[in-house]
Amino acid sequence: MSVTAVPDVGRSEASLRRFLHGLSGVDEVGAKARADRLGTRSIKTSAKAYALDLAIRMIDLTTLEGADTPGKVRALCAKGLHPGDDAPPVAAICVYGDRVPDAVEALKGSNVHIAAVATAFPSGRAPLPVKLADTRAAVEAGADEIDMVIDRGAFLSGQYTQVFDEIVAVKEACGDAHLKVILETGELVTYDNVRRASWLAMLAGADFIKTSTGKVSPAATLPVTLVMLEACRDFRDAHGRQVGMKPAGGIRTAKDAIKYLVMVNEITGPDWLDPDWFRFGASSLLNDLLLQRRKMATGHYAGSDYVTLD
Amino acid sequence: MFEYAPAPESRDVVALRDSYGLFIDGEFTDGGGVFKTVNPADEEVLAEVASADSADVDRAVAAARRAFDTVWGSMPGRERGKYLFRIARILQERAREFAVLESLDNGKPIRESRDIDLPLVAAHFFYYAGWADKLSYAGLGGARPLGVAGQVIPWNFPLLMLAWKIAPALATGNTVVLKPAETTPLTALLFAEVCQQAELPPGVVNIVTGAGETGRALVAHPGVDKVAFTGSTEVGREIARAVAGSSKRLTLELGGKAANIVFDDAPVDQAVEGIVDGIFFNQGHVCCAGSRLLVQESVADEVLSSLRRRMSTLRVGDPLDKNTDVGAINSAEQLAKIRELSDIGEAEGATRWSPSCSLPDRGFWFAPTVFTGVSQAHRIAREEVFGPVLSVLTFRTPAEAVEKANNTPYGLSAGIWTEKGSRILWMADKLRAGVVWANTFNKFDPASPFGGYKESGYGREGGRHGLEAYVK
């Protein structure tokens, strides 16, 4: 694999545009058909048990409500640390920036990461200094992962350098914190846009690319994830740097989660089958994984009262 | 590493019998001899099947004639349509049983027999059921049936080819005597049970099993008004000679050596998927398989490295495992032929590559294989391999792509991969192939006619055009 320096395509609007529009296109029908076909894999017994625990370890357990309180965040952290039975803890707890201190307190001494959404999440409609201040505040409060949103308006109107420069600036404001860049694919609409935005984010320094805020429909879908995983794979082939991937929003069942893991396995290869490189942004997925896990252990489905609400 | 645990489909949904007879005049009867059919994945004998001699073929043709004269030929189209709809529904209800039996007898992966073959089989019966009472609106003139159709089908899509043959024949008022391939007779015999279940009048459908001799007896039988054949060009020629000079109508759907043409602006990931689907679908046992990849030189390296990576994820093995992508080669003879042509490819200087995959010890297996550095002069670029073997050639301009694509004795199908719509239309106009797919490959639909140019045969199956072959 040839490792070359990231091209200096961000230098001018024209060079960035030429680069992004020079990427191979995505045939929508073909991408959907491939995603559908991967979804028919039959994952049973030992493979299923492995996948269920891996999925739990990949969850960014999330609450992003206007009504979030310290109590709600503490409860979520407790659940993330001890999901039930002997299930492993989740990867991270994801909250709004102002709730980070609650999570820091609750997760003290554990390896569970603290992710904060920043940059005027979910719309991204704020001046850059505000977005940077939002980011710095979250990092200073103790977040070690920042989920930023891109300016979809700028992207759709073709102002790629503005989007690029914002990501670069936020990455710098993150310091040591990992940066996840949310493309909000539901608003980008076409798969060509998704592929271009993925490359744009990776070129600008993203550590992760993420589908959605969860506030826009459609959120994560299998075909969108397919296109983004292909971009991650191709980016590493071209530049030698591995970037993580996080589908978020609407992934509620173990069955769906396993489809995503199959896709990771067959599109990027197993290098990405690790919480360092693949995450699920989800809140209700965890309980279904726990129920399926219990089903595998006992042979019976337990009711929803046998897993905790939060 | 995420290893998928075995996920086998159950064999219990099929009640395999030890022996199967011929289906003549609505009943199962003995034949002149017997032969065995094996599971190509493990060489286990599945059943003994009756072999029809010329006396058996006589009986079958006579039964078909009787049914044509007394019931089927004069039955109103709306009544025939009811039978066809009933058959289609029964096939849907018993789809799982048929899919498992097809995978057992043929070696194709269950995910293909389940997700592709069976849905298409039912769709063909539904489609032609719809035509049965509308023939006067098909633009075919008076649309009277021909009489008795003798149909000989291949082993690559045993039940689907049966559907392609029987559905339009019955819809137009013909009766049939069908001979399935020697290595894959079982789903046709299960279909005979469906005919009984649907209470189809005796003699309308007759199934005679056997090898080449049975086929020859059927094709040459003076009581047959129409011959329809799908299979090799070599046998097709023999049939054309046998039928020449008689009043029999003939349609032939023969071999192919399709070009799958990838331009530098193609969506690479989807093109690679189409290349894989084009040649590794059904182990490459597809007459319209995209066995010649023509890739524009400027993107050849990129496309080929993506292709190799994709091929490394193909799962080869137990056809009944729901995660298997590539199953078994249908027979020892076919495996020998694939090996021979591949060896010749190497000997003639092409570069051979296969992903590392462990093949089962028993059964007939051949790893997905790609040959690069192939030129038009190589035999693997000219002859139909009918196996999971892809030959890669390159081109520089659209005109060169057209010339190379057409430079073959065959003309069944072709594929074009480009984001440029005008180029798709320009190419489709110039390619001498019965089907041209754009940014996709191996897509079938009962409403779409299918058939070839040159040595790929003549006549069309499917769609309104498919009716023409069965009416006068």
Following DSSP, what letter does each residue of A102-166 receive, concatenated?
HHHHHTTTS--EEEEEESSTTTT-S-HHHHHHHHHHHHHHT-SEEEEE--HHHHHTT-HHHHHHH
CB B315 within 8 A of CB B359: no
What residues pair up with B23 in beta bridges, in sequence order?
A: B28, B207
Type and span of the H or E element at B49 = strand B45-51
Alpha helices, DSSP H only, in B210-260? 212-220, 233-243
- Does pLDDT of A6 surpass 60? no
The residue in chain B having the minimum alpha-carbon distance to the alpha carbon of residue A30 is: B270
What sign does the CA torsion over B203, B207, B212, B214 have?
negative
Q: How confident is the model at residue A214 (pLDDT cuts 50, 70, 90)?
A: very high
Residue for token digits 């004795």? B409
The catalytic residue positions of A are 147, 210, 246
The contacts of residue B15 (CB under 8 Å, 6+ apart) are none
**Tens-place pLDDT, residues B99-147:** 999 999 999 999 999 999 999 999 999 999 999 999 999 999 888 999 9
For chain A positions 50-89, those within 8 Å of chain B (CB to CB) are 50-51, 54
The token duo for A50 is 């492995």
**pLDDT reported for residue A1:** 34
| Mean per-residue pLDDT, B47-76 | 98
| Mean per-residue pLDDT, B313-339 | 98
**pLDDT reported for residue A7:** 59
- Does pLDDT of A3 surpass 70? no
In order of their start, the domains of chain B are 19-254+456-469 (3.40.605.10), 259-438 (3.40.309.10)
> Of residues B9, B112, B182, B253, which has the active-site annotation?
B253
**pLDDT reported for residue A2:** 38
Type and span of the H or E element at A208 = strand A208-210
CB B164 within 8 A of CB B124: yes
The residue in chain A having the minimum alpha-carbon distance to the alpha carbon of residue B303 is: A24
Amino acid at A83: P
Nearest by CB to B273, which of A34, A42, A43?
A: A34
Please give the share of chain A, as a percent, with pLDDT higher than 70: 97
- Does pLDDT of B214 surpass 60? yes
Q: Report chain A's mean pLDDT, rounded to a whole number.
A: 95
**pLDDT reported for residue A303:** 85
A230 with B269: Cβ contact below 8 A: yes
**Which residues of chain B have a CB within 8 Å of the CB of A261?**
2
The contacts of residue A56 (CB under 8 Å, 6+ apart) are A83, A87, A88, A90, A286, A289, A290, A293
- Does pLDDT of B72 surpass 90? yes
| Mean per-residue pLDDT, B375-396 | 97
Q: How far is A47 from chain B (nearest CA, A)?
A: 5
- Does pLDDT of B208 surpass 90? yes
| Mean per-residue pLDDT, A191-207 | 98
What residues pair up with B353 in beta bridges, in sequence order?
A: B370
Q: Is B7 on the interface with A (CB under 8 A)?
A: yes
CB atoms closer than 10 angstroms to residue B199: 10
Q: Which of B447, B469, B443 is nearest to B458 (CA)?
A: B469
Alpha helices, DSSP H only, in B172-267? 186-197, 212-220, 233-243
Helices A191-203, A222-239: axis angle to 10 degrees equals 40
Q: Report chain B's mean pLDDT, rounded to a whole number.
A: 97
**Tens-place pLDDT, residues B290-303:** 999 999 999 999 99
CA B424 to centroid of chain Cα atoms: 26
**pLDDT reported for residue A10:** 64
CB B441 within 8 A of CB B279: no
Q: How confident is the model at residue A4 (pLDDT cuts 50, 70, 90)?
A: very low
Q: How confident is the model at residue A310 (pLDDT cuts 50, 70, 90)?
A: confident
| Mean per-residue pLDDT, A247-263 | 97
In order of their start, the domains of chain A are 3-296 (3.20.20.70)
Q: How confident is the model at residue A306 (pLDDT cuts 50, 70, 90)?
A: confident
Q: How far apart are CA A120 and CA A10, in angstroms?
A: 24
Q: How confident is the model at residue A9 (pLDDT cuts 50, 70, 90)?
A: confident
CB A165 within 8 A of CB A172: no
CB atoms closer than 10 angstroms to residue B15: 8
B4 with A29: Cβ contact below 8 A: no
Nearest by CB to B270, which of A27, A47, A51?
A: A27
Q: How far is A59 from chain B (nearest CA, A)?
A: 18
A270 with B115: Cβ contact below 8 A: no
Please give the share of chain A, as a percent, with pLDDT higher than 90: 92
CB contacts < 8 A (A, B): 64
CB B39 within 8 A of CB B49: no
Q: ipTM of this model?
A: 0.94
The residue in chain B having the minimum alpha-carbon distance to the alpha carbon of residue A22 is: B265
Q: How confident is the model at residue A168 (pLDDT cuts 50, 70, 90)?
A: very high
